[in-house]
A = this chain, B = another copy of it.
Amino acid sequence: MHRTHTCGELTLTDLGKTVVLSGWVQKSRDLGGMTFIDVRDRYGITQLVFDAADDDALRSKARELGREYVIKVTGQVIERESKNPKLATGDIELKVSSLEILNPAKLPPFTIEDDTDGGDDLRMKYRYLDLRRSPVRNNLILRHKLAQETRKYLDGQDFLEVETPVLIKSTPEGARDFVVPSRMNPGEFYALPQSPQTFKQLLMVSGFDRYFQIVKCFRDEDLRADRQPEFTQIDCEMAFVEQEDILRVFEGLIKHLFKAVKGIDLGDIPRMPYEEAMRLYGSDKPDLRFGMPFVELNDTLKGVGFPVFDQAELVVGIKAEGCATYTRKQLDALTDFVKRPQIGASGLVYLRYNEDGTLKSSVDKFYTPLQLEQWAAAFDAKPGDLLLVMAGQTDKVRKQLGELRLEMGSQLGLRNKGRYTPLWVVDFPLLEWDEESGRYHAMHHPFTSPKPEDISLLDSQPGNVRANAYDLVINGTEVGGGSIRIHDSQLQSLMFKHLGFSAEEAQKQFGFLLDAFTYGAPPHGGIAFGFDRLAAIFAELDSIRDVIAFPKNNSGRDVMIDSPSVISDEQLTELAITTKRP
């Protein structure tokens, strides 16, 4: 037997017991004739003591243990003289009577501590060592709990977890597929699923009613900041439901997860129409940990001769409370921020409401003192506030101001990761205009159902038709989204027409699902949550990488196992493909 207890469980109640522990040498120090060693496992750290007065040879052997050696010790639990209240086992130590080295260890390339000296690249290459560090380990433990609690809740709600295939068929819509050459069917390929969308809809046609799956999905996209080529979804679908049923069930899931995993009572999740989210926060995923809603100023600031505003479709601003003290340098930095290419604004106008009641703007020469007062009044501003105003084409300026709002929220410390403000964004537009192709595209996917009351607008104002589509947003991050699907074939044909598909094209691309729908499809809808993203939010982390055991880098490469890699000529021949050597 390699252990009787873990390194995280011995306390004063175990005093006098003879126990066996196994684990890794965390650190070692000598003090007089004694050597103290912290031994670590997944569950915690226990202090070992080797006393030369008891056994000089044993103590000498202990002194030679290096960091990360794997050891097994037998000893007696004794009370510690200087207790360590930070450690669960801090009241005791183990007086060791025998020591076995289970495995020596080379010196690790970085320190295995909560704060390590290892850089990103090194830690990714030796990910198996990085995973020994408590913060990284705790992220994966949290992820495990989230998955367990998700399954517990959904099982309790009569959902069935059904595994859908990983080797499926490539479809031209959406992001790029990863493909898999078929040896048994030369010249043909499987594709890895971007989501199990088709299969979950088929399961509804099959009568499975309430389906879920925690499932790997794949997208061969250029990896921006925080994307992974393989990622995990909580994928769900329900039949015989309307939007309200879905929001209720999955609001229940999110509340359960926060309660069970973080002990947080989330309360009811508010809802906001897409239009309002864009108008007040310039984003379809507003961060509501702070207010700072947009104030529209066309009536207040246009038409008095300031050309930038006069020519703009929308003049709109935010109020940064207590920021009237911002220096010129700080204000210039904000202007630089909105002018960055990723944001692309042409400039930023401010109005300072000084503590002494005076008003000072960057466009004083265009506005009278009275007009400045009206400007401040439009924001309901108080002394000490800073008003930041931008102007331009409505959609663009809203997005730009939305970025500035987030930046100000960060600067004012209003975006604490430990606080959670979830939000359902509802009533998404059904269609979005695609400049490139000069036609409307489905914002969600072509099976998303329009709101019945808006169907009559499809011909006259397609851009104004709202969908039965919804996103769950937490702290400004979209963590889930879904829709009610179209199950009526006539409505589906109408949709395809508006998406510019001919009947033949629709049949070619989606025929298989459309066929299935002719055999009795129930009303249905669903949602999918980004599980990596959700776990990162629960772990209060910015990057999903930290909640993935073995992530890939921005080139889609696993630097630990050095993958992807060249395969043998025999393999290529068997698969009937040729490729260039890198």
Q: How far is the CB of A173 from chain B (nearest CB, A)?
A: 12
**Interface members, chain A 162-218 (any B CB < 8 Å):** 162-170, 172, 176-192, 198-199, 202-203, 205-209, 216, 218
Also in contact, A556 and B168, with CB within 8 A (given A232-B163, A488-B103): no
Residues of the B chain whose Cβ atoms lie less than 8 Å from the Cβ of A517: 103
CA distance A129 to B382 in the complex (A): 66
- Nearest opposing residue in chain B for A560, CB measure: B512
Chain A, interface residues (CB within 8 Å), range: 35 or more
Q: Which stretch of A48-56, A86-94, A273-281, A573-581 is in the interface? A: A573-581
Binary B-proximity of A239-254 (CB < 8 A = 1, otherwise 0): 0111001000000000
Tell me the nearest residue of chain B to A161, going by C-beta. B144
Chain B residues, CB < 8 A from A577? 181, 577-579
Task: For chain A, residues 14 to 41, give those with C-beta under 8 angstroms from any C-beta of chain B.
Answer: 22-24, 40-41
Contact with B along A97-136 (1 / 0, CB 8 A): 0000011111010000000000000000011110110000
Q: Among the interface residues A22, A165, A550, A557, which one has the most CB atoms of the partner chain B within 10 A?
A: A165
CB pair A207 B165 closer than 8 Å? no
CB-contacts of A527-582 with B (<8 A): 548-550, 552, 555-558, 560-568, 571, 574-582
Roughly how many angstroms separate A276 CA and B124 CA in the complex, as a whole number?
48
For A242, list chain B residues within 8 Å (CB).
1-2
Question: When chains A and B are docked, how far (Å) is the Cα of A137 from the Cα of B520?
Answer: 17
Which B residues touch A198, using CB under 8 A? 561
A144 with B162: CB separation less than 8 A = yes
> Which among A147-155, A369-377, A395-403, A493-501 touches the partner chain?
A147-155
Once the chains bind, are B216 and A163 in contact (CB under 8 Å)? yes
List B contacts of A83 (CB < 8 A): none
Determine whether the beta carbon of B42 is less than 8 Å from that of A207.
yes
Interchain CB contact under 8 A, B140 and A162: yes
Q: A218: which B residues are within 8 A, CB to CB? A: 166-167
Inter-chain CA distance A186–B108, complex, in Å, is 33
Q: Does A359 contact B (CB under 8 A)?
A: no
Which residue on B lies nearest to A554, using beta carbons?
B184
Let me know if B187 and A566 touch, CB within 8 A: yes
Which residues from chain B contact A58 at a C-beta distance below 8 Å?
A: none
Docked Cα-Cα span, A234 to B395, in Å, equals 50
Query: What is the distance, in angstroms, from A76's C-beta to the closest C-beta of chain B?
Result: 20
Query: In the complex, what distance in Å separates the CA atom of A523 from the CA atom of B516?
Result: 52
Given known pairs A140-B162, A240-B3, A576-B579, the reply for A189 and B41 (CB within 8 Å) is: no
Min Cβ gap A409→B in Å is 33
> A230 near B: Cβ within 8 Å?
yes
Docked pose: A568 CA to B141 CA in angstroms: 42
The interface residues of chain B lying within 8 Å CB-to-CB of A191 are 563, 567
How far, in whole Å, are A563 and B69 apart by their CA atoms in the complex? 51
New contact pairs (17) apart from A128-B206, A164-B550, A176-B571, CB-CB < 8 Å: A22-B240, A22-B522, A41-B207, A41-B209, A68-B520, A105-B518, A128-B516, A143-B162, A144-B160, A151-B151, A165-B550, A179-B567, A184-B222, A184-B555, A187-B566, A187-B581, A190-B563
